[in-house]
């Protein structure tokens, strides 16, 4: 069994070193206390009802020893934790900055090339990355176990964190601060690429490959990639939002008492301005995907919904 996640950033091994140090110190104390506890309970167990026991009320020497030794160790642990924390809070000057926005229940990444991605953060291996983060609604927390980094995203302020990815690969991103119904579905990925691949990715060659898919397949791909699946089912079950199964072409009751037939325009409007015509019985929690999804991508999603009969 793996006790800790994969080590995939420069900080991870430093954090693990503190973790193991505390583990060893704790284990020593734990083993001593449990051993003594069990040994005394067996060695001095009551054998007959009127056993006599000595009158011992304490020992200043012992009490002083077991005050000073833990105090000393605790200060060492504090200092060690602090030293590594200071590293974790001090991003290098030449860090690559990426803006992160959290909203219920998706991650939005904006790169300085003007590119944006949803739920997938692309970073080059070996380069310090600084994330400048904000929330559009409630609290969220950016957590990548393999990097040992975590930081809350708070509305009305920017928070930041940094790391240097050390290994190409795909790593899980979790939202670690409870943010409502879709909390456990607010997942993302961090994709660490070699510098060459990253350069290629920055130029956007991959995007073309995506849009060359047939519309319905593109929509299917976006359904999971863009996190639609956090709130919309495709099997008829009710999640945070209405299911997509059998949605197209049917009438739905709206919050204001009117009815609307689900067609291309209604779906498009619901993606770009979700609160404009809200379906009855659902809360206005969906974020706008304006500027996030291209026209081709929206058409792809519409085509995909049409296939779900």
Partner 1 sequence: MANHTIAETISIPYLEERGLLSWLTSTDHKRISIMYLLSISTFFILAGISALLFRLELLTPGKTIVDPHTYNVLFTFHGAVMVFLFIVPGLAASFGNFLIPLMIGARDVAFPRLNLGSYYLYVIGAIIVLVSLSKPADTGWTFYTPYSIKSGTDVILLTLGIFVLGFSSILTGLNFIVTIHKLRAPGMTWHRLPLFIWASYATAILQLLATPVIGITLLLLVAERAFGIGFFDPAKGGDPVLFQHFFWFYSHPAVYIMIIPAMGVISEVIPVFARKPIFGYKAIAYSSLAIALISFLVWAHHMFVSGMSDMAATIFSFLTFLVAIPTAIKVFNWTATLYKGSIDLKSPMLYALSFIFLFTIGGLTGVFLGALAVDVHLHDTYFVVAHMHYVMIGGTVMGFLAALHFWYPKMTGKMFNEKVAKIAWAFVFIGFNVTFFPQFILGTQGMPRRYADYPPQFHSLNELSTIGSWILGIGMFVMAINLIRGLFNGEKAPQNPYNSLSLEWQVPSPPPHENFEEIPNVTDWTYGYGKKSA
Residues 76-105 that bind partner 1 (CB under 8 A): 77-78, 80-86, 88-89
Nearest to 129 by CA among 149, 105, 152: 149
Per CB under 8 A, does 236 bind partner 1?
Answer: no
Q: What phi and psi, each to the nearest 5 degrees, are found at residue 306?
A: -60, -30
Per CB under 8 A, does 169 bind partner 1?
Answer: no
- H or E segment and range at residue 264: helix 264-272
Q: Choose, by CB under 8 A, the member of 13, 26, 116, 263 that binds partner 1.
A: 26
Q: Choose, by CB under 8 A, the member of 9, 113, 169, 184 that binds partner 1.
A: 184
Question: Token pair for residue 148?
Answer: 């040992």
Do 241 and 282 meet the contact criterion of CB atoms below 8 Å apart? yes
Residues of span 190-219 touching partner 1 by CB under 8 A: none
Per CB under 8 A, does 281 bind partner 1?
Answer: no
Nearest to 182 by CA among 138, 233, 239: 239
Least distance from C-beta 14 to partner 1, angstroms?
7
Length of the chain: 309
Q: Which is nearer to partner 1, 157 or 276 (CB)?
A: 157
Per CB under 8 A, does 112 bind partner 1?
Answer: no
Distance CA 146, CA 5 (A): 5
Least distance from C-beta 217 to partner 1, angstroms?
24
Per CB under 8 A, does 222 bind partner 1?
Answer: no
Per CB under 8 A, does 288 bind partner 1?
Answer: no
Per CB under 8 A, does 41 bind partner 1?
Answer: yes
> How far, rounded to the nearest angstrom, does the alpha carbon of residue 261 sit from its chain's CA centroid?
37
CA atoms within 13 A on the CB side of 249: 8
Per CB under 8 A, does 232 bind partner 1?
Answer: no
Do 11 and 147 meet the contact criterion of CB atoms below 8 Å apart? yes
Q: Choose, by CB under 8 A, the member of 24, 58, 113, 209 that binds partner 1.
A: 58
Q: Which is nearer to partner 1, 122 or 142 (CB)?
A: 142
First-to-last alpha carbon distance for the chain, in angstroms, is: 44
Least distance from C-beta 225 to partner 1, angstroms?
16
Residue with tokens 């003594």: 36
Per CB under 8 A, does 54 bind partner 1?
Answer: yes
Q: Which is nearer to partner 1, 5 or 213 (CB)?
A: 5
Stretch that binds partner 1, among 42-50, 218-226, 252-260, 300-308 (CB under 8 A): 42-50
Distance CA 15, CA 44 (A): 43
Q: Choose, by CB under 8 A, the member of 99, 159, 166, 307 that binds partner 1.
A: 159
Stretch that binds partner 1, among 117-125, 135-143, 194-202, 294-302 (CB under 8 A): 135-143
Per CB under 8 A, does 188 bind partner 1?
Answer: no
Distance CA 285, CA 275 (A): 8
Stretch that binds partner 1, among 131-139, 194-202, 209-217, 292-300 (CB under 8 A): 131-139
Per CB under 8 A, does 61 bind partner 1?
Answer: no
Q: What phi and psi, each to the nearest 5 degrees, are found at residue 162?
A: -145, 160
| Prior bond of 163 cis (ω within 30°) | no
Beta bridge partners, 152, equal 141
């Amino acid at each position: 069994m793996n006790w800790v996640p994969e080590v995939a950033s420069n900080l991870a091994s430093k954090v693990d070193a503190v973790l193991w140090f505390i583990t060893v110190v704790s284990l020593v104390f734990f083993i001593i206390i449990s051993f003594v506890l069990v040994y005394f309970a067996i060695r001095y167990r009551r054998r007959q009802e009127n056993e006599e026991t000595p009158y011992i009320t304490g020992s200043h020497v012992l009490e002083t020893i077991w005050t000073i030794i833990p105090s000393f160790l605790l200060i060492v642990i504090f200092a060690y934790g602090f030293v590594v924390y200071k590293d974790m809070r001090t991003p290098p000057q030449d860090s690559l900055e990426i803006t992160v926005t959290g909203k219920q229940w998706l991650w939005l990444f904006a790169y300085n090339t003007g590119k944006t991605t949803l739920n997938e953060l692309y970073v080059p291996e070996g380069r310090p990355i600084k994330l400048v983060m904000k929330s559009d609604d409630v609290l969220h927390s950016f957590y990548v176990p393999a990097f040992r980094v975590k930081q809350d995203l708070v509305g009305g302020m920017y928070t930041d964190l940094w790391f240097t990815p050390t290994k190409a690969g795909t790593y899980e991103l979790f939202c670690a601060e409870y943010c409502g119904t879709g909390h456990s579905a607010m997942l993302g990925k961090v994709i660490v690429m070699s510098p060459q691949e990253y350069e290629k990715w920055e130029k956007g060659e991959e995007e073309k490959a995506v849009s060359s898919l047939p519309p319905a397949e593109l929509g299917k791909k976006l359904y999971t990639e863009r996190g639609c699946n956090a709130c919309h089912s495709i099997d008829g079950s009710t999640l945070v939002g209405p299911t997509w199964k059998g949605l197209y072409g049917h009438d739905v009751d709206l919050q204001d008492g009117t009815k609307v037939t689900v067609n291309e325009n209604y779906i498009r409007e619901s993606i770009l301005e979700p609160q404009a015509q809200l379906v009855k019985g659902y809360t206005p929690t969906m974020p706008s995907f304006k500027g996030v999804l291209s026209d081709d991508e929206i058409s792809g999603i519409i085509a995909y919904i049409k296939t779900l009969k």
